[in-house]
Structure 1
Amino acid sequence: MSDHPASGARRALSGIRVLDLTSAVVGPYAAKIMADHGADVIKVEAADGDVIRWIAGPSPTPGMSGKFMHLNRGKRSIVLDLKQPRGREAVMRLVARADVLLINMRPQAVERLGLDYDSVARANPRLVYCAMVGFGPGPYRDTPAYDSIIQGGAGVAALSEMATGQPRYVPYVVADRTVGLMALNAVMMALFQRERTGAGQCVEVPMFENMAALMLSEHLYGATFEPPLSPPGDLRLIDPQASPVKTADGYVCLTTNTDAQAFALMRVMGHPEMQTDPRFSTKQARAAHSREYFGIRAEAIARRTTAEWLALLKEADIPAMPYNTLDSLRTDPQIVASGLLREVEHPTEGKMWDLADPTRMSGRDDAPPRPAPKLGEHGAEILAEAGYSPEEIEALAGSGALGPSSA
């Protein structure tokens, strides 16, 4: 259990120490949320640091990209060369004091480093070990995986082809972030089980199979049944018109799932006769004839301005909101009122926009989070907590197994 003061006394994960051996997005995202809720997260990096330090946009000083800052606040960084025996020994000493270990290397690499579950569990039987892998057991098991690879393989990119004729990755690392949340859920359940049993366990979260399960649960559609009642693909979602709707001067976002919402829209559009049209009079009929329904909707909405439509839709209690760009999103009145974006002063990067945790918990003490770390910033501090003497830390650094701090 962690005794670091940054843990905070009134946070759900106060006293939980997380050893974060992950990089890029999937693991760091899960670990960041744990840090937001009071966990002491120790980020172990290689000498060149997490790749997201370098490939995610400019920063005032090298290696501190905006995406890295958002994914790694609240953590402490140590640089260890895990290919060296002394580096592995240091990690195992950290493992012995950890509650959770997160790792997203390929299984063969993990075994070569001696960081497989069986090896680390001998050092700490209470450890919750979470491996985020590209693929579970099977022919793809030890092949590399990134978000785009998983999007293409799991059918996410194919949805764009079904709608527009061209396959396209979602321009957002949706697989990494989704599976990161799945890993977090699994770790929380394993910690809860440990409270009951006293024992840790191995948790494996494969990206490909998890994203495939999500895609199939959404889009098997009539092919769920045997024999199939339709081809796979939810018609309402793959229709090319399932997008923000063009107004006279911009776009508006709206959805009508219930009969009450759809009938209200028909009246507001000036087409009350659609309520008795057999193509549109029931939820099932509208789903089967979504292309015709969306076409009538597009023609009607193009005749008024965005402001006019937002007022009419609000009055009719039809779910709708303005269409935002990445620029306008930052000044959206709801975003401003929520305090999501907050200006903070980073010790090395200066003024920056930090993202508050939108989830509210009445039992949480929302103390300011620790800023995202420079590469290796806390190495000596972390090792001292693990029982290393100043002489041992100096020897570790001299051997090259401990990277220098860039703080």
Structure 2
Amino acid sequence: MQDATQTRASHGTLAGIRVLDLTAVLMGPFCTQILADHGAEVIKVEGPEGDTTRQLPVSPAPGLGAMFYNLNRGKRGLALDLKREEGRAALLRLAARADVFIHAMRADAMARLGLTYADLAAVNPRIIYANVYGFSRRGPYAKGPAYDDTIQAMSGMASLQGRMLGTPSYSATLVADKVSGLTALYAVLMALLHRARTGEGQEIEVGMFETMANFVLTDHINGALFDPPKGEPVYGRAASPNRRPYRTADGWIAMLVYTDKQWRAFYEAAGQPAWMRDPRYATLKDRAPHVSEVYGHLAETLLDRTTADWLARCTAAEIPAAPVNETADLLRDPHLEAVGFFIEQETAFGKVRFPGMPAWFSRTPGQITGPAPALGQDGRAVLAEAGFSEAEIDALAACGALILPADAT
């Protein structure tokens, strides 16, 4: 078990990279969480009210909701009122020594604040300036609000779910936010690589809508890839209403019988080798036009035996199959336990268990260095390290540009 009170030490691939993180909620904080896990010094810059996810239940203390606590682990907390000129000036001083500046505000809001790429590049030409928001500012939707649900709908994802479920539906996890956060992550890393090679900073932009359009159409572009189209932009197997966990005699099972070899093995495991002679099922090419019918037949067959029986038969036949877990099952999964996936830490509010890092490095492993900060928790230290005098820090706090915790004023 790690001690969350330990001194933050340099660790990971991104040790030495300094990030100013003005994002909130999920998309941006997920990107910067991973940066922090892998050694970057991430300074979370919040306004006087703080990130809205601070207020989401459940919470070990006021202002530390569980989602916030996880997404902002390992970051340092600074609270500035950027509508005050003093707060803006303080942020620009910090930007002069930062490597990455990432925000999730609309372009016109950043222009009003005087915090555009041009403003920051004027004090630091090497900075990587990342815009992450709903829609690219280059298109007609630029000023529209965007949330995970609306982006799932606009990107076609909800309607694809409807093909399976009978009515349009959202994914039960905030997939648009998280996929967009990962896209922002690789965009920042590529920009840092370019800077390492050339010395040049640059501005980058990641829109949730564009990200999810790319994500959905990677497989579902299908026949619409060609001109003239050779079919609708839907990958039939993925959107089949019979592609789902299947009922067994006593529960549920997830199974994907895909290749010809796997189907032959399944026919034997099911005791129905004659099916292979059916021209609709013989080969992958034959099955593709009848995919819903094929999966429907599979669903009927699986009702005959228990989940444990089918799992044993599939394991023996090397057919991909798995139990249908609840999220609570992940907390006691033997594989996740064996690889040390969950990281437990002692904090001021007791023991916490963070979901760990999925990527493993032999030479530069990441590390969860501590829980999320209280609002403004590290304000004095961050500014002092950036060269602000004690008198300057006191003046910022006195005029309301710097928000400090009650016990640090």
Q: So what's the TM-score if we normalise by structure 1?
A: 0.95
Q: In the alignment, which residue of structure 2 is the partner of 1:302?
A: 303
2:312 and 2:84 map into 1 onto residues whose CA distance is 65
Q: Secondary structure at the match of 1:289?
A: helix
Change (3 A) 1:14 1:342: closer
2:367 and 2:227 map into 1 onto residues whose CA distance is 54
2:202 and 2:8 map into 1 onto residues whose CA distance is 24
Kept in 1, the 8 Å contact 2:220–2:234? The answer is: yes
2:184 and 2:337 map into 1 onto residues whose CA distance is 31
Kept in 1, the 8 Å contact 2:104–2:132? The answer is: yes
Kept in 1, the 8 Å contact 2:255–2:320? The answer is: yes
Where do residues 95-244 of structure 1 align in structure 2 (5 Å cutoff)? Answer: 95-136=95-136, 137-244=138-245
| Structure 1 segments unaligned to the other structure (5+ residues) | none
Q: Secondary structure at the match of 2:402?
A: coil
Kept in 2, the 8 Å contact 1:135–1:207? The answer is: yes
Q: In the alignment, which residue of structure 1 is the partner of 2:346?
A: 345
2:228 and 2:382 map into 1 onto residues whose CA distance is 59
Where do residues 65-80 of structure 1 align in structure 2 (5 Å cutoff)? Answer: 65-80=65-80
Offset of 1:227 from its aligned partner? Answer: 2.7
Where do residues 251-330 of structure 1 align in structure 2 (5 Å cutoff)? Answer: 251-330=252-331
Moved more, 332-341 or 144-153: 332-341
Offset of 1:331 from its aligned partner? Answer: 1.5
Change (3 A) 1:48 1:9: closer
Q: Secondary structure at the match of 2:44?
A: strand
Change (3 A) 1:227 1:367: closer
Kept in 2, the 8 Å contact 1:377–1:406? The answer is: no
2:10 and 2:342 map into 1 onto residues whose CA distance is 25
Alignment of 1:87 onto 2:104: no
* Total equivalences in the alignment: 401
2:174 and 2:307 map into 1 onto residues whose CA distance is 30
Q: In the alignment, which residue of structure 1 is the partner of 2:397?
A: 397
For 2:125, give the aligned amino acid: P
Q: Secondary structure at the match of 2:363?
A: coil
Moved more, 86-95 or 141-150: 141-150
Q: In the alignment, which residue of structure 2 is the partner of 1:31?
A: 32
Change (3 A) 1:366 1:107: closer
Q: In the alignment, which residue of structure 1 is the partner of 2:61?
A: 61
**How far does the alpha carbon of each residue in 1:112-151 deviate from its partner, in whole angstroms, 9 at most, with x for none?**
1111111110010000111112111111111121111211
Offset of 1:368 from its aligned partner? Answer: 4.9
1:280 and 1:223 map into 2 onto residues whose CA distance is 26
Q: Secondary structure at the match of 2:322?
A: strand
1:366 and 1:131 map into 2 onto residues whose CA distance is 25
Alignment of 1:51 onto 2:55: no
For 2:48, give the aligned amino acid: A
Offset of 1:181 from its aligned partner? Answer: 0.6
Q: Secondary structure at the match of 2:48?
A: coil
1:212 and 1:50 map into 2 onto residues whose CA distance is 27
2:406 and 2:170 map into 1 onto residues whose CA distance is 36
Q: Secondary structure at the match of 2:190?
A: helix
Change (3 A) 1:367 1:167: closer
Kept in 2, the 8 Å contact 1:10–1:363? The answer is: no
Kept in 2, the 8 Å contact 1:246–1:302? The answer is: yes
Change (3 A) 1:7 1:283: farther
Offset of 1:212 from its aligned partner? Answer: 0.8
1:184 and 1:406 map into 2 onto residues whose CA distance is 34
2:122 and 2:258 map into 1 onto residues whose CA distance is 53
**How far does the alpha carbon of each residue in 1:324-346 deviate from its partner, in whole angstroms, 9 at most, with x for none?**
01122222221222222233212
> Which contiguous aligned blocks of 4+ residues in structure 1 show a shift greater than 6 angstroms?
none
Moved more, 59-68 or 22-31: 59-68
